[in-house]
Homo-oligomer: A and B are copies of this chain.
């Protein structure tokens, strides 16, 4: 047991949705005092750094209702129950971009918002891409545009705040650090 562990005194389930659920835990702090923790449960997700034979990075633009604006991001998607992350990564890449990877490698995982949510994102590198379909077939409620950009063009999108989320910014830094393109 960690010295700062917060013992759960009771859990109040507030909401169970299609994607996230919300609970409020009353906890006992290390000094014996009590506090409430507002906690989001999420199934986890994958994202994919996909690099074409021409050394372009594949990005997708979609509308993000939580932000009321579109964002340009690395292809990503939620895990289905019991789904292996590497399978999910290949599936999401193909569904959103029409590219099937010959090789897919797990490179990192991270929590996105540890202060209130348990969402864990697994990052994969996809290589040896084969274009298997022209049309984009995302989830039935997803509409995405495909971009294929150089690292310089991607970094320009960062400057313009069109790329503006942690996983995509981490991914672009990774491409730079590992000199992948």
Q: What is A's interface to B at a CB cutoff of 8 Å? A: 2, 4-6, 14-15, 17-20, 22, 24-25, 27, 29-31, 33, 35-40, 42, 45, 61-67, 69-71, 73, 76, 78, 108-119, 121, 140-141, 143-145, 164-167, 169-170, 173-174, 176-177
Bound-state CA distance A143–B32 (Å) is 12
Q: Are A111 and B71 in contact (CB under 8 A)?
A: yes
Count identical subunits in the complex.
Answer: 2
Known: A38-B20, A177-B176. A115 touches B169 (CB 8 A): no
User: Across the interface, which residues of B come within 8 angstroms of A164, CB to CB?
Assistant: 109-111, 114
State the CA gap A14–B17 with chains docked (Å): 11
Query: Besides the contacts A66-B114, A111-B165, what 14 more A-B pairs have beta carbons closer than 8 Å?
Result: A4-B61, A6-B65, A18-B38, A35-B141, A40-B66, A40-B117, A42-B116, A45-B115, A64-B114, A109-B164, A112-B165, A112-B166, A113-B113, A166-B167
Contact of B20 with A37 in the complex, beta carbons under 8 Å: no
Q: With A14-B14, A40-B40, A112-B113 in contact, do A63 and B6 touch (Cβ < 8 Å)?
A: yes
B19 with A14: CB separation less than 8 A: no
Which 5 A-B pairs have CB atoms at the shortest separation, nearest pair first?
A4-B63, A166-B166, A173-B173, A35-B141, A37-B65
Partner of A67, one of B36, B78, B111: B111
* Chain B residue contacts of A19, Cβ below 8 A: 38, 115-116
Residues of B with C-beta under 8 A to A109: 164
Q: Which B residue's beta carbon lies closest to that of A15? A: B14
A69: chain B residues at CB < 8 Å are: 2
Chain B residue numbers with a CB within 8 Å of A40 are: 20, 40, 66, 116-117
Contact, CB under 8 Å: A110 / B143: no
Q: What would 22 A/B residue contacts be, using CB atoms closer than 8 Å? A: A2-B69, A2-B70, A5-B63, A15-B15, A15-B22, A17-B36, A19-B38, A27-B65, A31-B143, A35-B141, A39-B65, A39-B66, A40-B116, A64-B115, A66-B117, A67-B111, A110-B165, A110-B169, A111-B166, A112-B166, A113-B113, A166-B166
